[in-house]
Structure 1
Amino acid sequence: MNRYPVVAELLRDAQHYFLMNSQLLDETPLQIYFAGLIFAPHESITRETFEQYIPSCICRLPETETAWDTKLQFLEGHSDYVASVKFSYDNQILASGSFNQMMRLWGAKTGALRHTLKEHLDVVKSGSFSPDGQLLASGSRDKALRIWDIATGALQQTIEGHSEDINSVSISPDSCLVTTGSDNIVRLWNIIAGELQQTLDGYSKGVNLVAFSPNGQLVVSGCDYRTVRLWDLAKKLLAT
């Protein structure tokens, strides 16, 4: 492709053009030739190439930007506020959780909706992909942790045992454990069996954030008490 830089630039611009107009393609595909063009930036290669085909009856064109900005596309479909977003480790899938009790999985490159995960009973506040690319963990205001199969969108299991909202979830680097932040306790669960493996307590207020270290030996957590704690899973608390 480097031998044909003009073609490469056209393809890159066309990709941006189609991604920005993905909803138009889904709902009224023929408008991609008209509405898509007249709202494209003035210096878009796609617009410059095909502008001659804009119908002459459109005598006054709308004001548009000069060039594409950093926005790549809009992913629409949620009917309420989006509460959480997360990329998969291979950057191929984007998960978004909403106040409408659903989590959606999108193709990160195309913006295409892959699955809608509907088993939550309240706001989906957090999500975490497994590094092996097979599972997604999600936490909700309904106090339940759910594990999903990414390929099919099927619910694998529902894990209960929290007394308040699950504010944050994180899957370990070996994809064997999932940690949750809720009430005033950090919990570690066996992701396959759904069994509680360990509790890390000592907080007097709610745990808002949890994450595994890249080597899987440490967990970091943050809470309403304005502290960040680092936990050695073999020895529990390491530092505050």
Structure 2
Amino acid sequence: MIDAKRKASGSNGDAASYYASQVGASSGPVGGSLVKRQRQDEGDDGAGALVAISSDRQGKDKGLMRSVKRTSSLQAPIVSLNGAHGAEILDVAFSPDGAYIAAASADRTISIWTTYGDNTNIGILTGHSKAVTSLTWSKVAPAHTPVLFSGSADGTLIVWEVLSGTKVRRLRGHKGIVNCVASTRSFPQLLVSGADDGIVLIWFWQEESRPREAIQVGYPVTAVEFSEDGSQVYVAGLDNDVHIYDLTQKSILYTLRGHTDTVLSISLSPQGTHLASSSSDGSIRIWDVRPFAPEPLPGQKGNARLQKTLQGLSIGFEQALVRCRWNKSGSRLAAGGGDRTATVWDVEKAEILYKLPGHRGTCTAVDFHPKEPIIVSASFDQQLLLGGECS
């Protein structure tokens, strides 16, 4: 463990393109160590509100700023977590208990932050040789020993024991950039990853460093997710569709069609009944993935599993893998965007509730806190923004 504390500093200007960051960043230490760093104190004017941009029902910004009552237990309405990275942040996620935040960067490192108190940057995980493109926490690991999984442009995944900075295992099997990784809610040993090599790999990460099973997709895979019980894998990529694979039957059960451009991310609802897919076509679609064929909605044409279409997803010229996530109740969805904001939708009404400004580059990823009304966003501007949800 290397103790190299320093004051964090902000970043200025937009970052380079997402593709350039994927093929290898030159900064950042390598070696599997945990480098402790300290975030600079952010100013707190003592205000009890945060700021959001109102939107009309068609998802168009009115450009009006409004104050919203703060509902979380954070010390400030909004906090900038910066200074830990020297390149774009590509993914962010709260730990299952909400105590920590992990951020993946093109500088080849992962920063770990505390959610509460002074929002301390408790360490940097190093070990990948190229951009860290995606991450996910183990959903079943004990809270006192949180486990994190990361995927990288170096073609590998790493299993981390976060608080000690220990690199538990490196997983090798892909021959291209790893774009996505997901863990199960039911089985602690299962992990799935997808890559530019057109292959989805299933891992028993506690036992082996090589994949247990491979699914040949045939085109770059951008998003993967497990079903609630872990028996199915949802796979999306450059063919604009989401395919549901049955791991027991080793075949495709059905396909969700409707997007007209690349699917960028997929996210399973907290109840395990619906899947959200964000796409370069500017929409997020909500699909019923329960194990039955639902009746089509009145007047509906096409896939009967399509329940809602959320419009207004902003896609920048970088064509980043803009990720969407559900809140804890399943009533809201959030996603980043090329307009430098985090957008939050009301799922039932299929309307934009608000946009959270503050980033100076494409907002690549967002996540909702698992217990409190708190949201975090990541961006090409090398910072995280942490704040309370708008009521």
Q: TM-score, normalised by structure 1?
A: 0.69
Query: Following the alignment from structure 1 to structure 2, what is the Cα–Cα distance between the partners of residues 227 and 71?
Result: 34
Cross-structure match for 1:107? 161
- The answer on 1:80 being equivalent to 2:134 is no
Cross-structure match for 1:150? 205
| CA-atom RMSD in angstroms | 2.7
Residue deviations 1:58-96, cap 9 Å, x none? Answer: xxxxxxxxxx97111221111111111111113521111
Output aligned runs, 1:11-22, within 5 Å.
20=3
With CA pairs under 8 Å and 6+ residues apart, which has the higher RCO, 1 or 2? 2
Contact 1:104 1:113 in 2 (8 A): yes
Query: Following the alignment from structure 2 to structure 1, what is the Cα–Cα distance between the partners of residues 254 and 163?
Result: 38
Output aligned runs, 1:92-171, within 5 Å.
92-131=146-185, 132-153=187-208, 154-162=210-218, 164-171=219-226
Q: 1:201 aligns with which of 224, 247, 257?
A: 257
Contact 1:125 1:167 in 2 (8 A): yes
Q: Is the partner of 2:281 in helix, strand or coil?
A: coil
Contact 2:171 2:205 in 1 (8 A): no
Return the letter of the residue paired with 1:239: K
Q: 1:224 aligns with which of 280, 284, 305?
A: 280
- Greater mean alpha carbon deviation, residues 128-137 or residues 90-99: 90-99
Query: Following the alignment from structure 1 to structure 2, what is the Cα–Cα distance between the partners of residues 191 and 207?
Result: 22
Contact 1:19 1:73 in 2 (8 A): no
**Structure with greater strand share of residues:** 2
Mind listing any 5+ residue stretches in structure 1 that lack a counterpart?
1-17, 28-35, 41-67
**Structure with greater helix share of residues:** 1
Contact 2:225 2:234 in 1 (8 A): yes
Instruction: Tell me how far 1:150 sits from its aligned partner.
Output: 2.0
Output aligned runs, 1:43-82, within 5 Å.
70-82=120-132
Q: Is the partner of 1:100 in helix, strand or coil?
A: coil
Mind listing any 5+ residue stretches in structure 2 that lack a counterpart?
5-28, 39-117, 295-304, 310-391
Which 4+ stretches in 1 moved above 6 angstroms?
none
Query: Following the alignment from structure 1 to structure 2, what is the Cα–Cα distance between the partners of residues 81 and 200?
Result: 30
Contact 1:211 1:219 in 2 (8 A): yes
The structure having more radius of gyration, on CA atoms, is: 1
Query: Following the alignment from structure 1 to structure 2, what is the Cα–Cα distance between the partners of residues 193 and 101?
Result: 28
Return the letter of the residue paired with 2:162: A
Instruction: Tell me how far 1:160 sits from its aligned partner.
Output: 1.1
Q: 1:177 aligns with which of 227, 232, 237?
A: 232
> Could you say if the C-alpha distance between residues 110 and 140 of structure 1 is closer, same or farther in structure 2, counting changes exceeding 3 Å?
same
Percent sequence identity over matched residues?
A: 25
